[in-house]
Amino acid sequence: MAEKPRFVIVGAGLVGSMLAAMLGREGFEVEVLERRGDPRAGKMESGRSINLAISARGLNALSRLSLDDEILSLGVKLYRRAIHSPTGEISHQAYGVGGQAINSFSRGELNRALAQAAGDAPGVTLRFGRRCLEIDPVAGKVTHVDAATGDDLRTSTGVVVGADGAFSVVRGVLQKREHQDYAQHFLAHGYKELFIPTRADGTPALELNAMHIWPRGRFMMMAMANTDGSFTVTLYLPMTGENGFDRLTTRDEVRGFFDRHFPDAVPLMPTLLDDFFANPTGAMVTVRTFPWQLGGRTLLIGDAAHAIVPFYGQGANAGFEDCLELIEQIRKSPNDLEAAFRRYQDIRKPNSEAIADLALANFNEMRDHVASPWFLVKKRLEKAIHRVLPGWFVPLYSMISFSLIPYAEARARAERQARVLKRVGLGIALAAVALIVWAVR
């Protein structure tokens, strides 16, 4: 019988750690190389980590590792959006029906739980502080060094999995080969993390179980709760030009900008100016590439295969779904990894394209449309139709966040639903006009 292949995973972020845990449980030998330190050892900075919204798809994958209950206890449920107007009024929009919620997690806590699961899985070796320099995608070799010193050059061999994020070194090597399609698109906006602490008496300064959004047309701010009652805030601004990061260079400019656009948030952010200048401005990129595998020896997963912008809160959820699909396909043909990898990429690629497009479109919705009364009416109507005809009509947001319907299918179904509703709407309008004409005759 052929020897069971061993895997070398580059990157122990959310997706690399989850995949290592799953492959280990399938009986594979796995070596994981991660340039950062071990998240299991580090003390978490309470309340000061970037948080992520994890919904049905992510929870489904976590449940396969029996981690869903543990992880849920580390999160805060968000049942609705709380929209903050420029004058400080707050209106609410429920995300789903019947108590459906997305979950706000600290990225660090989630990564720590997944690294723990990977470390506990049989046959998995985690090597932190190792930076991958090069790979040979045909031979299945990874060259890596001590991330701190750049010394101690070593080589690991096996099936190479690039789980090394949006700027993947593994993908970089594949990109240099013929027939590797590749495109990256940077958003003209960047983001910056800010912070709302608890009040002096320890209570949350905002409603805990809501995603807070300050939509301002071309830019926006949002805040998600941490378990200690503080909030991680993310500010999304154009990189340059009007209301851009490049215009905010002094403490007075930042203070004036916040007083003008987010007056209700300013009193809640005592470290606003320090945070603004201490925290980096992040870029947001959409990466599209194909194929995702080479000869059953090298594979891409998670952001390395399909980085998307964060506005549907689905990047990690999508990466977790990749892991489930990959394991399912490996189970189908454990002795033919190339066939398994081909099926995995063919199934996941159209879905990653769909969520990449939806995430870009949702930026317009979050920064602009959510503030419009028409948007509210449309959302209410969608929910009402869903309640009456749940089998026929499901709002797109619900399909993406509260179901396991593949992203591409969800998008196609939403387009069909919209076409029918348009026709019904047109029919009703025509009937109304006919009625008026008949009545006035």
Ligand X SMILES: Cc1cc2nc3c(=O)[nH]c(=O)nc-3n(C[C@H](O)[C@H](O)[C@H](O)COP(=O)(O)OP(=O)(O)OC[C@H]3O[C@@H](n4cnc5c(N)ncnc54)[C@H](O)[C@@H]3O)c2cc1C
Applying CB under 6 A, the residues found at the interface with ligand X are 10-16, 33-36, 52-53, 131-132, 163-165, 169, 191, 234, 282, 302-304, 310, 313-317, 319
Query: Shortest Cβ distance from residue 66 to ligand X (Å)?
Result: 20
Cα angle value 361/363/368 (rounded, 5°): 110
Burial of residue 219 (CB within 10 Å: 0-12, 13-18, 19+) is buried
Nearer to ligand X, 133 or 266 (CB): 133
Is the backbone of residue 199 left (phi > 0), alpha (psi -120 to 50) or beta? beta
Contact between 298 and 291 (Cβ < 8 Å): no
Query: Shortest Cβ distance from residue 52 to ligand X (Å)?
Result: 4
Query: Shortest Cβ distance from residue 315 to ligand X (Å)?
Result: 2
Query: Shortest Cβ distance from residue 118 to ligand X (Å)?
Result: 12
Burial of residue 208 (CB within 10 Å: 0-12, 13-18, 19+) is middle
Nearer to ligand X, 244 or 282 (CB): 282
Q: Rg of the chain over CA atoms, in angstroms?
A: 24
Nearer to ligand X, 12 or 59 (CB): 12
In whole angstroms, give the CA distance from residue 103 to residue 240.
32
In whole angstroms, give the CA distance from residue 341 to residue 73.
34
Query: Shortest Cβ distance from residue 134 to ligand X (Å)?
Result: 10
Strand locations in 310-414 (E): none
Burial of residue 377 (CB within 10 Å: 0-12, 13-18, 19+) is exposed
Query: Shortest Cβ distance from residue 180 to ligand X (Å)?
Result: 18
Query: Shortest Cβ distance from residue 82 to ligand X (Å)?
Result: 16
* Residue of 194, 264, 201, 202 whose CA lies nearest to 227: 202
Nearer to ligand X, 12 or 160 (CB): 12
Contacts 24+ apart (CB under 8 A), 377-385: 379/93, 383/94, 383/97, 385/421
Nearer to ligand X, 151 or 201 (CB): 151
Nearer to ligand X, 164 or 275 (CB): 164
Tokens representing 93 are 């929009």
Nearer to ligand X, 255 or 353 (CB): 353
Query: Shortest Cβ distance from residue 125 to ligand X (Å)?
Result: 14
Nearer to ligand X, 68 or 421 (CB): 68
Query: Shortest Cβ distance from residue 283 to ligand X (Å)?
Result: 9
CB-closest chain residue to ligand X = 13
In whole angstroms, give the CA distance from residue 32 to residue 135.
14
In whole angstroms, give the CA distance from residue 214 to residue 86.
8
Nearer to ligand X, 35 or 212 (CB): 35
DSSP 8-state symbol, 246: G
Neighbours of 398 (CB within 10 A): 23
